[in-house]
Amino acid sequence: MTYSSIFLSEWYLTFRRKQDIANSILFFLVVIVLFPIGVSASPSFLASASVGIIWCAASLASMLALDGIFKEDLRDGSIDQWRMNGLMVSIIVLGKVLIRWGAFILPLLVLIPFCGVALSLPEDLMFETIVSLLVGTPTLFLLAAIGASITASLRNSAVLMTLIVMPLYLPVLIFSTGYVKASELGVSGIGQLAILAAIFLIVLLISPFFCAISLKASAE
C-alpha cells in the first residue's frame, strides 16, 4: 500500500461514483436558478448580487461534495490499514480532498459563464469571478474536510457539518466577493486576493493534521 496507489484508487472511485459530484453540481445549479425566482428577477438587482449568489451556491455545494468523504474509510478499516503501513493520514486526507476538489471545480468552471448570463453578471467581471473561485474554493474544501472528519462516525451528519463549517467559510466569502467588487469599482483587488491566498496556506497547514487527529480518534 502506497500513497500513489491510494490516490489512484480515490481518483478512480471519484469518477466511478459520479453521483457525489453530480449532486453537488446540481445543487449549485438549483440555488442559481431558484434565487432569482424567490427574490427578484430584476437584471439590475441580479447584476449587483450575482457574485454573492455564485459564492453562496459554491459554498453550500462544496459541503455537499465532501459530505461522507471519510465515512467509508472509517467503516472498512482503511484508516487503521494506513497507519499499520506507516502512511501519514494527513497526507492521504490532503490528497483525497484535492482530488474531490478537482472533480468539482472543473465542471463548475464550465458552468460559470452560463450562470453569469442567467444572473446578469457583468462580462468584465467574469474573469475575476473565475479567479476568485480558483483561489477560494480549495480553502472551502479543506475547511469542509474538518467538518467531515468530525462527523465521520455519525450516520446523519449533514446538519452538524453545516453548523461546524459555515462560520469558518465567512472570511473566504468576504474576501472572495470583495476581490470581485474591487474590480467592479476599478480598484485593484490584489490585496483581497493575497489575503485569500494567505488563508489558503494557513488552512492547508492546519486542516490535514486536524482531520488526521479526528479520524484516528474515531477509528479507536
pLDDT of residue 112: 92
pLDDT of residue 218: 80
In 3D space, the residue among 139, 161, 154, 58 whose CA is nearest the CA of residue 94 turns out to be 139
pLDDT digits (tens, 9 = 90+) for 2-37: 888 888 888 888 877 777 788 889 999 998 988 888
Q: Examine the pLDDT at 173 and tell me if it is beyond 90.
A: yes
Answer whether 87's CB lies under 8 Å from 3's CB.
yes
3-state secondary structure of 123: helix
The percentage of residues in the chain with a pLDDT greater than 90, rounded to a whole number, is: 40
pLDDT of residue 3: 81
Q: Examine the pLDDT at 203 and tell me if it is beyond 90.
A: yes
Residue type, 106: L
Q: Which domain holds residue 92?
A: 3-219
Q: Examine the pLDDT at 146 and tell me if it is beyond 80.
A: yes
How far is the C-alpha of 133 from the C-alpha of 112, rounded, in Å?
Answer: 10
Query: Given pLDDT bands bounded at 50, 70 and 90, which one contains residue 97?
Result: very high
pTM for the structure as a whole = 0.91
Longest dimension (CA), the chain: 59
Into how many domains does the chain fold?
1
Mean pLDDT value across the chain: 87
CA distances from 58 to 51, 66, 193 (A): 11, 12, 18
